[in-house]
Structure 1
Amino acid sequence: MDPIHLFDLAGKQARWLSTDQSVIASNVANASTPGYRARSLQPFSEVLDKTGLQLASTAPSHLSLDPLQVQAASIKEENPWEVTESGNSVALEQELIKAGDVNRAYSLNTGIVKTFHAMLMSAAK
């Protein structure tokens, strides 16, 4: 039976969502700082695309390749909706929308994990 990687994937996404929420909070906290440039994380799907999976070899004659290292989510400056006279590029409306997106994604993540856990527990009974 193959191992189930759902919990690992959900944990990775939860950590990414936590980091994204921290970046959003930092943007909101610096909304009135002159010259501050809003930042954002690259999307979780891009982080997953850059993450390599280890190949399983079932025979010694199979090629043994090293897995790609997980690359940390890089923080990048984003294109602002608006730039104020002070050079600040934080749009509070945009940050609130992104915070709501993080909240919805986290709720979906935890809902899937709860449901999957309940299925495993009912199968174990």
Structure 2
Amino acid sequence: MEPVYLFDLASRQSTWLSVRQATIAENVSQADTPGYTAKDVEPFRDVLDKTQLGMIATTSGHLGGDFETARDVRNVEAEPWQVSASENSVSLEQEMIKSGEVARSHQLNTAVVQKFHGLLLASLGKR
């Protein structure tokens, strides 16, 4: 039986999501700091492009692709919606939207892992 990497991939995305949420929190805490430049982390798909983990197609109808990990998450400069007179590029509205995206992604990640775990238990006759 081939190893299943879904749990590893979900764990890496969860790590990436926590780093992104911490970056968003830092931006919000610096919203009134003159000259502060908002940060974000590189997109998860870019992190996945660097991984050694790959998908294997067992039939010709499967999609191929490489997946990356969140172990090399780096901060990138966020694109500001506006820059204030104090040259601070933090937009609280933009940060709240990003925070909502992180929350939804985390909920989806958790739901997929729970369903996959249930599937594994069912296949072993444990459910």
**Which category of TM-score, normalised to the shorter sequence, fits these structures?**
0.7 to 0.9
CA RMSD of superposed structures (Å):
1.7
Does structure 1 conserve the Cα–Cα contact (< 8 Å) formed by 2:13 and 2:70?
no
Give aligned pairs, total: 111
Matched, 1:81 2:87: no
Partner of 2:49: 49
CA contact (8 A) 1:40 1:76 kept: yes
Higher alpha-carbon Rg:
1
Where does structure 2 lack aligned partners over 5 or more consecutive residues? 55-68
What is the TM-score with the length of structure 1 in the denominator?
Answer: 0.84
Q: Runs of at least 4 residues of structure 1 off by over 4 A?
A: none
Q: CA deviation at 1:28?
A: 0.4
Code of the residue aligned with 2:52 in structure 1: it is G
State the Cα distance separating 1:32 from its structure 2 match: 0.6
| Identical columns (%) | 49
Which secondary structure state, in structure 2, belongs to the residue aligned with residue 50 of structure 1? Answer: coil
1:15 pairs with 2:44: no
> Is contact 1:36–1:87 with CA below 8 Å preserved after alignment?
yes
1:123 aligns with 2:119: no
Counterpart in the other structure of 2:109: 109
Deviation string 1:35-61 (CA, Å, 9 cap, x unpaired) is: 10000001000000022348xxxxxxx
Q: Is the 8 A contact 1:50 1:70 kept in 2?
A: no
Q: TM-score, normalised by structure 2?
A: 0.83
Gaps of at least 5 residues in structure 1 are: 55-68
1:63-121: CA deviation from partner (whole Å, max 9, x where unpaired): xxxxxx98611101122100001110000000000000000000000000000001111
